[in-house]
Amino acid sequence: MLQTVDIGSRSLDSYRSFVPPPIFDELASAAQSLAGARVLHLSATPYGGGVSELLRSAVPLLENLGIHAVWQVISGEESFFRVTKAIHNGLQGAAGSITEVDRAIYKRNSTRNAALLDGEYDFVFVHDPQPAAVLSFAGRRRGFWIWRCHIDTSAPNPEVWEFVRRYLVDYEAAVFTAADFVPPDLPVERVEVIPPAIDPLSPKNLALSGSTGREVLDWIGVDADAPLVTQVSRFDPWKDPLGVIAAYRLVRERVPGLQLALVGSMALDDPEAWDVYREIREASATDALIHVFTNLTGVGNVEVNAFQRLSDVVIQKSIREGFGLAVSEAMWKATPVVAGRAGGIPLQMADGAGGLLVGSVEELADAVVWLLEDPAAARELGRLGRDRVRDFFLLPRLLLSEIDLMRSLVEGPDAERTSIARDPVCGLLIAGQPVASVVREGRRHDFCSHDCRERFLRAGAAAGGAQPHREE
Ligand code: UDP
Is it the case that residue 466 has pLDDT exceeding 50?
A: no
Would you say 329 and 316 are in contact if contact means Cβ atoms under 8 Å apart? Answer: no
Question: What are phi and psi for residue 69, nearest 5 degrees?
Answer: -110, 140
- Cβ–ligand 1 distance for 323 under 6 Å, the answer yes
How many angstroms separate the CA atoms of 291 and 262, rounded? 6
Is it the case that residue 392 has pLDDT exceeding 80?
A: yes
Confidence of residue 54 (pLDDT cuts 50, 70, 90): very high
Is it the case that residue 472 has pLDDT exceeding 70?
A: no
Q: What integer pLDDT is reported at residue 239 of this predicted model?
A: 97
Q: What integer pLDDT is reported at residue 336 of this predicted model?
A: 98
pLDDT (average), residues 423-430: 97
How many angstroms separate the CA atoms of 72 and 76, rounded? 13
Confidence of residue 471 (pLDDT cuts 50, 70, 90): low
Q: For atom 17 of ligand 1, which residue has the closest CA?
A: 50
- pLDDT, tens digit, for every residue of 136-178? 999 867 899 999 999 999 999 999 999 999 999 999 999 999 9
pLDDT-wise least confident of 108-122, 286-300, 388-402, 453-467: 453-467
pLDDT (average), residues 180-194: 96
- Cβ–ligand 1 distance for 54 under 6 Å, the answer no
Can you count the helices (H) and strands (E) in the chain? Answer: 16, 18
Dihedral, CA of residue 379, residue 383, residue 386 and residue 392, to nearest 10 = -140
The domains found in the chain, sorted by start residue, are 3-193 (3.40.50.2000), 210-392 (3.40.50.2000), 415-471 (no CATH)
Q: Give distance in angstroms: CA of 232 to centre of ligand 1.
A: 7
Q: Give distance in angstroms: CA of 56 to centre of ligand 1.
A: 13
Label the pairing between strands 469-471 and 443-447: unpaired
- Cβ–ligand 1 distance for 230 under 6 Å, the answer no
Name the pTM for this structure.
Answer: 0.96
- pLDDT, tens digit, for every residue of 232-259? 999 999 999 999 999 999 999 999 999 9
Q: What integer pLDDT is reported at residue 383 of this predicted model?
A: 98
Q: Which atom of ligand 1 is nearest to the CA of 198?
A: 15
- Cβ–ligand 1 distance for 340 under 6 Å, the answer no
3-class secondary-structure state, position 416: coil
Which of 233, 291, 333 gets mutated to test ligand 1 (max ligand atoms within 8 A of its CB)? 233
Q: Which atom of ligand 1 is nearest to the CA of 267?
A: 23
Mean pLDDT taken over the chain: 95
Q: Which atom of ligand 1 is nearest to the CA of 295?
A: 8
- Cβ–ligand 1 distance for 149 under 6 Å, the answer no
Q: What integer pLDDT is reported at residue 268 of this predicted model?
A: 74
How many angstroms separate the CA atoms of 146 and 174, rounded? 5
- Cβ–ligand 1 distance for 49 under 6 Å, the answer yes
CA nearest to 430, candidates 22, 46, 18: 22
How many angstroms separate the CA atoms of 85 and 48, rounded? 14
CA distances from 423 to 11, 155, 352, 451 (A): 28, 24, 18, 11
Would you say 231 and 315 are in contact if contact means Cβ atoms under 8 Å apart? Answer: yes
- Cβ–ligand 1 distance for 53 under 6 Å, the answer yes
Is it the case that residue 15 has pLDDT exceeding 80?
A: yes
Which long-range contacts link 13-18 to residues 24+ away (Cβ below 8 Å)?
Answer: 14/201, 15/61, 15/200, 15/201, 15/394, 15/395, 15/396, 18/200, 18/201, 18/390, 18/394, 18/396
CA distances from 303 to 261, 281, 386 (A): 12, 20, 20
- Name 315's bridge partners: 338
Q: Give distance in angstroms: CA of 445 to centre of ligand 1.
A: 33
Label the pairing between strands 436-440 and 469-471: antiparallel
Q: What integer pLDDT is reported at residue 296 of this predicted model?
A: 84
pLDDT (average), residues 192-203: 97
- Name 446's bridge partners: 437
CA nearest to 130, candidates 166, 192, 173, 76: 76
Is it the case that residue 38 has pLDDT exceeding 80?
A: yes
Q: What integer pLDDT is reported at residue 298 of this predicted model?
A: 83
Q: Which atom of ligand 1 is nearest to the CA of 232?
A: 5
Q: Give distance in angstroms: CA of 265 to centre of ligand 1.
A: 7
DSSP of 298-333, one letter per residue?
T--HHHHHHHHHH-SEEEE--SS-S--HHHHHHHHT
Q: What integer pLDDT is reported at residue 467 of this predicted model?
A: 47
Would you say 71 and 4 are in contact if contact means Cβ atoms under 8 Å apart? Answer: yes
3-class secondary-structure state, position 41: strand
Q: Kindly state the helix (H) or strand (E) to which residue 340 belongs, with its residue range.
A: strand 337-340
Is it the case that residue 347 has pLDDT exceeding 50?
A: yes
- In the chain, the percentage of residues whose pLDDT exceeds 70 is 98
Is it the case that residue 96 has pLDDT exceeding 70?
A: yes
How many angstroms separate the CA atoms of 361 and 14, rounded? 41
- Cβ–ligand 1 distance for 174 under 6 Å, the answer no
3-state helix, strand, coil in the chain (%, to 5): 45, 15, 40
Is it the case that residue 468 has pLDDT exceeding 50?
A: no
Q: For atom 6 of ligand 1, which residue has the closest CA?
A: 233
- Cβ–ligand 1 distance for 233 under 6 Å, the answer yes
- In the chain, the percentage of residues whose pLDDT exceeds 90 is 90
